[in-house]
């Protein structure tokens, strides 16, 4: 079937895509980092823009919050618009006391207590790896341009754990040192594997139960430039 959530001419979508959760962050990236950016989707106000970065055609669009929303856009991009690579660029909570607000985390794999994979593809799995080649490229690029990252496994959760306690889930975690807590990466990685495509995730830590400070909603939208630059530099390679 044709796409119903991302509706544009096929040539308007690049083969490489950045997916922030917030469509206004997509707008910010298009206006501040891309050349000749064109708005190519407005369905449900999930803005998508296509332009060029250092001469390479690239699309940036919002994915919304949570795995169901991410799954819809990842599927349509990969399966219908023939996208080859996606980097999620999002925000998260710190997964442990050694990860601090402002850190940039490269997710090499995502663990989830959710049954998303079972619902999507009848696979009873809860750990999904990012694409190794793309993840290796991000790590190498970070070293080249001098951006510090922390890499490892992250948690993809179904609830915003700033509002609710998830201690009852932690006893079942197979990994003790989850670096960050977010809500989308597992679905992206799972669909990328099923579609034979590449996906990775860069996540900026914006809140922590171990620290008293937080990043404001305005800063979440506009002041995540290190992560954005690293994603752009990596995906064009």
Q: What CATH number corresponds to the domain at position 224?
A: 3.40.50.1580
Among the ranges given (85-94, 99-108, 216-225), the one the predictor scored with the smallest mean pLDDT: 216-225
- The boundaries of the domain holding residue 170 are 10-235
Confidence of residue 183 (pLDDT cuts 50, 70, 90): very high
For residue 53, is it within any domain? yes
Residue 175: pLDDT over 90? no
For residue 105, is it within any domain? yes
For residue 5, is it within any domain? no
Residue 217: pLDDT over 80? no
Catalytic residue among 22, 207, 212, 219: 207
For residue 76, is it within any domain? yes
DSSP codes, 98-159: TS-TT-EEEEEEEE-SS-HHHHHHS----EEEPPHHHHHHHHHHHHHHT---EEEEEEE-SS
Looking at residue 77, what DSSP letter applies? I
For residue 1, is it within any domain? no
Q: What is the predicted pLDDT for the residue at 221?
A: 64
For residue 79, is it within any domain? yes
- Mean pLDDT throughout 171-179? 84
**57: phi then psi, degrees, rounded to nearest 5:** -70, 130
Closest to 40 (Cα-Cα) out of 13, 73, 80:
13
Polymer length of the chain: 237
For residue 115, is it within any domain? yes
Number of domains present in the structure of the chain: 1
Closest to 182 (Cα-Cα) out of 60, 21, 59:
21
**What is the pTM (predicted TM-score) of this model?**
0.95
Contact indicator for 113, 126 with CB cutoff of 8 Å? yes
State the Cα–Cα distance between residues 225 and 230, nearest whole angstrom: 8
Over the stretch 111-161, which tens digit does the pLDDT of each residue have? Answer: 999 999 999 999 999 999 999 999 999 999 999 999 999 999 999 999 988
Residue 103 bears catalytic tag: no
Among the ranges given (33-42, 71-80, 172-181), the one the predictor scored with the smallest mean pLDDT: 172-181
For residue 135, is it within any domain? yes
Q: What is the predicted pLDDT for the residue at 166?
A: 85
């Amino acid at each position: 079937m044709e796409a119903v959530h991302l509706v544009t001419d096929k040539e308007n979508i690049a083969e490489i895509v950045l997916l922030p959760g917030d469509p206004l962050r997509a707008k910010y990236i298009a206006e501040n980092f891309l050349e000749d950016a064109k708005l190519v989707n407005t369905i449900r106000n999930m803005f998508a823009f296509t332009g060029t970065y250092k001469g390479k055609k690239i699309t940036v669009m919002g994915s919304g919050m949570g795995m169901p929303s991410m799954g819809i856009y990842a599927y349509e991009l990969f399966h219908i618009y023939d996208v080859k690579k996606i980097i999620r660029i999002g925000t998260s909570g710190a997964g442990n006391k050694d990860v601090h607000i402002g850190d940039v985390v490269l997710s090499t794999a995502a663990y989830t207590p959710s049954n998303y994979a079972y619902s999507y593809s009848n696979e009873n799995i809860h750990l999904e790896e990012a694409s190794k080649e793309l993840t290796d490229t991000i790590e190498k690029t970070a070293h080249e341009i001098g951006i510090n990252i922390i890499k490892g496994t992250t948690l993809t959760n179904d609830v915003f754990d700033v509002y609710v306690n998830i201690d009852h889930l932690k006893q079942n975690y197979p990994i003790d040192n989850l670096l960050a807590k977010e809500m989308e990466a597992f679905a992206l990685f799972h669909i990328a594997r099923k579609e034979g495509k590449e996906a990775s995730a860069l996540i900026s830590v914006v809140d922590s139960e171990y620290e008293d400070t937080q990043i404001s909603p305005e800063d979440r939208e506009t002041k995540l430039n290190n992560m954005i630059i690293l994603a752009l530099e990596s995906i064009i390679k």
